[in-house]
């Protein structure tokens, strides 16, 4: 009797947790009601036919075990479906943040990460800098060698630059042949050093892309975040103008905006 009653309780718990999913699997409460009826009738039946009580309890026990196993299977399926749905949601979010061609962050996702980095570095009292860089003469490559080669060049540059960055640096593609890097913990002078490393890596490793000799170079602009009083649009604009100064000064070089935060060393 005790075992049958325990199984009935287990069924009740499973049924409650799966109350929204059990319509197609039969009314679980029938076993619970049958067990309750047996418990109430047992004191009277034991006086006249004890074997009937034992047989009914044994039958309820096996019936209950079968239903517990079935309900457990449905619970596991429900949990698996929930975990799968969460994983799909995370994957969809990650895909929506990535540039389809290069695999780096797209403009919107990179901007959002930059804003979060600014909050974190402000709380920790650390500096923050950004790099903007652009593939030199990219339109000429597209027009002369075709868009497929152009796409391969974008992927080659993204992979080359990613290999030169630290774990916390954030690389994104802003659009076209223009990319950006957020450098948490980096002051202006450190951003210049990273920009030079990026520039030299592209010049060294992107001379040949696929079967085409392209001799890629990049022009890099650097700017250090001035703090909460500066908007992110202003920061990005300073880095962008520095990049175009580099392009206008002969390309394949790093130019840094002169502004630094008050008290920066």
Domain ranges of the chain: 2-97, 107-256
Task: Catalogue the active-site residues.
Answer: 177
**Which residues have C-beta within 8 Å of that of residue 75, sequence separation ≥ 6?**
14, 17, 18
Q: CA nearest 174: which of 150, 146, 154?
A: 154
The pLDDT value given to residue 18: 47
pLDDT of res. 61: 57
The CATH code for residues 107-256 is 3.30.70.270
Q: What is the mean pLDDT of residues 2-13?
A: 48
Rounded to whole angstroms, how far apart are CA atoms 254 and 259?
A: 15
Q: Cα separation of 80 and 100, whole Å?
A: 29
- What was the pLDDT predicted at 91? 57
- According to the model, what pLDDT value does residue 79 have? 67
Instruction: Please tell me the predicted confidence (pLDDT) of residue 23.
Output: 43
CA triple 22-4-57, angle to 5 deg: 115
Distance CA 138, CA 214 (A): 10
Residue 73's Cβ-count burial label (10 Å; 0-12, 13-18, 19+) is: exposed
CA angle 210, 205, 245 (to 5 degrees): 110
pLDDT of 8 > 60? The answer is no
222 with 198: CB under 8 angstroms? no
Mean pLDDT value of segment 61-77: 65
Q: Worst-scoring range by mean pLDDT, 35-39, 209-213, 244-248, 257-261? A: 35-39
Average pLDDT over residues 241-257: 97
> Using 50, 70 and 90 to split pLDDT, how confident is the model at 38?
very low
> Among residues of the chain, what percentage have pLDDT more than 90?
58
> pLDDT tens, 187-222?
999 999 999 999 999 999 999 999 999 999 999 999
Task: Check whether 68 has a pLDDT greater than 90.
Answer: no
The more confidently predicted of residues 18 and 172 is: 172
pLDDT digits (tens, 9 = 90+) for 154-166: 999 999 999 999 9
Determine the average pLDDT of the residues in 56-65.
57
* pLDDT of 76: 74
């Amino acid at each position: 009797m005790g075992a049958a009653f325990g199984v009935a309780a287990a069924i009740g718990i499973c049924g409650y947790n799966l109350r929204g999913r059990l319509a197609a699997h039969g009314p679980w409460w029938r076993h619970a009601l049958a067990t309750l009826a047996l418990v109430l009738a047992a004191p009277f039946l034991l006086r006249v036919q004890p074997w009937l009580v034992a047989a009914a309890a044994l039958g309820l026990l096996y019936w209950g075990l079968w239903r517990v196993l079935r309900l457990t299977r449905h619970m596991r399926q429900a949990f698996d479906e929930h975990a799968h749905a969460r994983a799909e949601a995370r994957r969809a979010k990650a895909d929506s943040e990535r540039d389809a061609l290069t695999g780096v962050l797209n403009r919107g996702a990179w901007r959002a990460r930059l804003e979060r980095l600014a909050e974190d570095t402000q709380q920790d009292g650390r500096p923050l800098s950004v790099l903007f860089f652009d593939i030199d003469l990219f339109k000429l490559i597209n027009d002369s060698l075709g868009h497929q080669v152009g796409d391969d060049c974008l992927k080659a540059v993204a992979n080359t630059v990613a290999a030169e960055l630290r774990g916390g640096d954030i690389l994104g593609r802003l659009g076209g042949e223009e990319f950006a890097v957020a450098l948490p913990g980096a002051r202006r002078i450190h951003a210049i050093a990273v920009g030079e490393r990026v520039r030299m890596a592209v010049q060294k490793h992107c001379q040949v892309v696929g079967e085409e000799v392209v001799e890629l170079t990049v022009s890099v602009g650097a700017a250090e975040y001035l703090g909460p009083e500066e908007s992110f649009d202003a920061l990005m604009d300073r880095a962008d103008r520095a990049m175009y100064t580099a392009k206008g000064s002969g390309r394949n070089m790093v130019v840094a905006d002169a502004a630094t935060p008050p008290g920066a060393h």
